[in-house]
Structure 1
Amino acid sequence: MKKSKTTKDWWKEEVIYQVYPKSFKDSNNDGVGDIKGIKEKLPYLKELGITTLWICPIFTSPMVDNGYDIADFEGINPEFGTMEEFDELVAEAKKLEIKLMLDLVINHTSDEHTWFQQALADKKSKYREYYIFKEGKERPNNWRSIFGGSVWEKVPGEESYYLHVFDKKQPDLNWENPELRQELYQMINRWLEKGIAGFRIDSITFIKKDQNYESLPADGVDGLVSCKHKTRNQPGIEFFLNELKKETFEKYNCVTVGEAPGVAYDEFSDFIGEEGYFSMIFDFHYADIDVESGSDWFKRTNWTTKEFKELIIQSQEALQNAGWGANFIENHDQPRALSKLVKKEFQTAEAAKGIGAMYFFLRGTPFIYQGQELGMINAERHHMKQFDDISSIDNFYRAIQEGISEKEALNFVNLRSRDNSRTPMPWDNSQYGGFSNHQPWLAMTEEYPTINAAKNTVLEFYKKMIELRQNSPISPILKTGAIHFLKELPDSIIGYYRELGGEKIYSFTNLSPVSETLIVEKEVEVLYLTSHSTQLLGKEIKLAPYQSILVK
């Protein structure tokens, strides 16, 4: 039975699609995607089968960090359109039974936000207390921001500094101030009154800072140390998160998805348990397997399939024990999964289907990032001037500072750049891929895309996966069934079954560049899905490289 939005946990039934508005569809041919472009493509999303649309920030912003630097929480950035167009998008989506989720960015604002401008203009203004300012001639400590350099920026004409965990144009809000918190809660409630379905909550584990502001031993040649040790998931954050939930989300039957890096598995129940702060959270343990730390891309790892499999299992078991998970392999901060998880010579449509099926039937709500359903790959850029992402530029120069050659640093950035997933969506094989008639704000992966939405077997496969989960005889099992991982398998095979009322559906994925053969206890009765053309032989299953199957 399909749950309506009146059911408490309706979001468990959803398939959520993430749109990066700047790169989805340009309706007015200025090279930048917009709200009308999203509205134009709603029929495509409906046909794909998704039920909820998450839109990355569309708020008023100078776009230093592509909208994650907000100058007005309740204004629409003119390059995306108007509030009237947003309201039309909500209404049109509702007609198609597609819910809308927005990004909620409440750790920081843009330095162009009126609060920060007033804080700078008048030291005695109440808005000074909306941010984190420290008096003194020297920087208060040696913390490094997530985007590189000190977290402290000098205030012009003063002997004082303000704190920014991210870019210097993204000053952090002072969550210790109850008046500021109330302003944020009122803003959130006004958005929910508009009829949106909920939020993905950005960088939420950074809102509490260690109040001693002590320096720590340096971890880089710059003499600085990652601020994460003192600004991420700090003791006391539970007070803020409980209050946030009570003052806003709890009053509405909305979905909340926390971007919650730095949360240990034994704390998951606080975040997503019965009384948890959020409906679900993203877990980055397996997503960041290719780098030692989510933000230091030049520290690459030689990860193995066995390690990846172990991380998936740990993640799923922790999520299941605590509550509900948000399952993903791509987003706006990650490279393309096909380029990350699959050896270069096997980066084909079949492999895109294989890694898609591997994660899609895990227990939890599946998220699809725009272009993932087409089997898109990373873009290769040949010099730094071609990058837009501030984190890519920072990583390049930090790598060089750490003694890495320019060629190698460029390679690391190409592998991990957030620009990989932010390239314009290719709708057809015309110049600029039908995204726009104008040169896009960011170069396409290919100017005349060979991978596009016009004719695409990966897209058809995603439609089948969604149909199986949402509207088939095995939907109840795939939506709510328990998950059990099969431990006695070759290292390169991820195997699990979903179980409900004694009925089991099995998923097997060969995440390696060599064929593998499986011997199973009972003969395969039904083949629901295969990423490759396959010949199933009774109890013996031969899986091609990166092949995934769903069977009974």
Structure 2
Amino acid sequence: MEKKWWQKEVIYQIYPKSFYDSNNDGIGDIKGITQKLDYLESLGITMIWICPIYQSPMADNGYDISDYYQLNPEFGDMKDLDELIERAKEKGIKIVLDLVINHTSDEHPWFQDLLKNPEDSKYRDYYILKSGQDGMPPTNWRSVFGGSVWEPLKNTNEYYFHSFGVKQPDLNWENKQVRNELYKMVNYWLKKGIAGFRVDAITFIKKDQNFDNLPADGADGLVKCTKKARNQAGIEEFLHELKEETFTKYDCVTIGEAPGVPYEQYGDFIGDNGYFSMIFDFRYADLDVASGSEWFKRVEWNVLDLKKLIFKSQTEIQKVGWGANFLENHDQNRSLSKYIKEEENRNFYSATMLGALFFYLRGTPFIYQGQEIGMTNFKRKSIEEFDDISSIDQYYRSMNEGFSAEEALHFINLRSRDNSRTPFHWNDQEYGGFSKVKPWLGMNDNYRSINVEQQEQDPNSILHFYKKIIQLRQKSECLIYGEIEPILEDHPTIVAYKRKYYAEEIVCYFNFSCDEQKVVLDDKFDVLLDNYKEDKQTVSEQEYFLKPYQALILLKQGESHHE
């Protein structure tokens, strides 16, 4: 694969509502991001992906857009965004926005017109409408956020389709006019000077046009809509057209959120002529649950399970294209709480080991806000404390499936998307320096001990180690472009791999346990990075004992270090 500019990027994901509140209304905003650009520059990142900032009633925190061309006033206005793009550019930082084109908000003018005038609205075919059957919805499909995908259109026998929340009606991609409207909007934003898009829920845009029932898979008598409304045959025509009408006209980067795509199809999505620059693979991120939308079906896993999923993903992506590597995001719980099971082991070593493990995989690395200081899950005492619509649905659905209220709350605390959406910890003052007033979502109590200000002053902090992780990758062509080769594949607690680029070979060892583990080195190596502060500059052919949660990055000696 020829080199592309976006392969070198280090992407930092911002959840704007929770990053930094510049005007003290309890809600993070665009000016807040601009004011923290120095921090992001010192971290070493080169690109920011901002979750949706468009006009929205915020039923799903901005993933329900009521106007694609306006910004939500709580985040700021277009002048604020222009200033952010400009100021970031001066620092060599690019901006990527979220692109949400599977659905709109039910408060979008198109849908509002349809509600007022269901028979004759010119936007009638912009959405998916079907007649009910004997007072029942058209099919027995369950939405991702629970309940039927069908919602009645008032005063009619018709229902509209929503893969996600009731306030997020799906657009009818079968309608060419809808597609043209969306392409026009995409080009508007690319002209504005953004570097590209993270493309939300894009595998949902094609539905099985038969709209038939399936055997139920839950106590609610419904069946997951993903079987009929995700990655369906024919989607390739839409994705190809989207790319041709928009992305290819600009040298932009596109990161697809593309769940449900089997590895055999990855070539279509991210190959040389793929629809996107890269896509996220969620298989390892969802290893603790039966599926991303059924948190109460917990899955026991061990390090070997995680390692197999990571390496399978890496090997399959390497065959055809480029990956987007992430530990956590706005739809996941905190990685330190998920991957490090014992609370007492969630410390500097495990956080830095995890960071380096994911950072040096082949692909473009993503850091989610707060990951670089080791932010963790919180624990809420009642369902009333949650904001996320998916968490609230999972809580009640767990109880419908026979679990107690205590068990249901436990599942939600483990997995809730609110875990990663708590306000960012800037310092140990009240509300973590995020705001001077009570934030929109409750803080994680540990902000007094886990925050940026303390870690900036401590050279042995997680934050400082993340800076080193980034610096090392950015000056090593091998760690950016090199092929990946898994090693020690059957070891129960060590994750290890080689990166190879021309004559250069870098070997990466990660001890995923709280016990020492022996490895045998087959050559003489220079130590590029070690999360234990040792003076050793080289290690030779010998038995080496990895300390608990040690990350060790080694360069095979006698080979040029591409810089």
Following TM superposition, the consecutive aligned residue runs of length 4 or more in structure 1 with deviations greater than 6 angstroms are none
3-state SS in 1 of match to 2:70: strand
Q: After the TM superposition, which residues 63-462 of structure 1 pair with which residues of structure 2 at under 5 Å, given as runs?
A: 63-122=58-117, 123-136=119-132, 137-343=135-341, 344-446=343-445, 448-456=447-455, 457-462=461-466
TM normalised by structure 2 equals 0.95
CA distances 1:323-348 after superposition (whole Å, capped 9, x unpaired): 00000011000101000000222011
TM normalised by structure 1 equals 0.97
In 2: Cα distance, 1:224 partner to 1:372 partner? 37
In 1: Cα distance, 2:149 partner to 2:212 partner? 13
3-state SS in 2 of match to 1:504: strand
Q: Which amino acid aligns with 2:237?
A: F
In 1: Cα distance, 2:470 partner to 2:400 partner? 46
Q: Which residue of 2 aligns with 1:544?
A: 547
- Please state how far the C-alpha of 1:383 moved relative to its aligned partner: 0.5
In 1: Cα distance, 2:130 partner to 2:192 partner? 38
Q: Which residue of 2 aligns with 1:4?
A: none
Q: Which residue of 1 aligns with 2:509?
A: 508
More deviation, 129-138/76-85: 129-138
More deviation, 135-144/376-385: 135-144
CA contact (8 A) 2:488 2:494 kept: no
3-state SS in 2 of match to 1:454: helix
Q: Which residue of 2 aligns with 1:61?
A: 56
- Please state how far the C-alpha of 1:125 moved relative to its aligned partner: 1.6
Gaps of 5+ in 1: 1-6
- Please state how far the C-alpha of 1:534 moved relative to its aligned partner: 5.0
- Structure 2 residue 42 is the aligned partner of structure 1 residue 47: yes
CA distances 1:241-268 after superposition (whole Å, capped 9, x unpaired): 0000000000000000000000000100
Q: Which amino acid aligns with 1:268?
A: Y
CA contact (8 A) 1:433 1:447 kept: no
Which of 464, 469, 474 is the matching residue for 1:470? 474
- Please state how far the C-alpha of 1:138 moved relative to its aligned partner: 2.2
More deviation, 170-179/491-500: 491-500
Q: Which residue of 2 aligns with 1:492?
A: 493
CA contact (8 A) 1:351 1:531 kept: no
3-state SS in 1 of match to 2:232: coil
CA contact (8 A) 1:208 1:237 kept: yes
CA distances 1:149-192 after superposition (whole Å, capped 9, x unpaired): 00000111111100000000000000000001000000000000
In 2: Cα distance, 1:262 partner to 1:448 partner? 36
In 2: Cα distance, 1:288 partner to 1:359 partner? 15
RMSD between aligned residues: 1.2
Kindly tell me: are residues 212 and 424 of structure 1, through their superposed partners in 2, closer, same or farther at Cα, counting changes over 3 Å?
A: same
3-state SS in 1 of match to 2:452: coil
In 2: Cα distance, 1:531 partner to 1:221 partner? 48
Q: Which amino acid aligns with 2:24?
A: N
Q: Which residue of 2 aligns with 1:30?
A: 25
CA distances 1:270-321 after superposition (whole Å, capped 9, x unpaired): 0000110000000001110010111101111001111110000000001101
In 1: Cα distance, 2:3 partner to 2:130 partner? 44
Q: Which residue of 2 aligns with 1:3?
A: none
3-state SS in 2 of match to 1:522: coil
3-state SS in 2 of match to 1:460: helix
CA contact (8 A) 2:374 2:462 kept: yes
Instruction: Count residues with an aligned counterpart.
Output: 542
CA distances 1:488-526 after superposition (whole Å, capped 9, x unpaired): 552211110111112111111111232211112124x31
In 1: Cα distance, 2:59 partner to 2:446 partner? 25
In 1: Cα distance, 2:500 partner to 2:317 partner? 17
In 2: Cα distance, 1:488 partner to 1:432 partner? 44
Percent identity among equivalent residues? Answer: 57
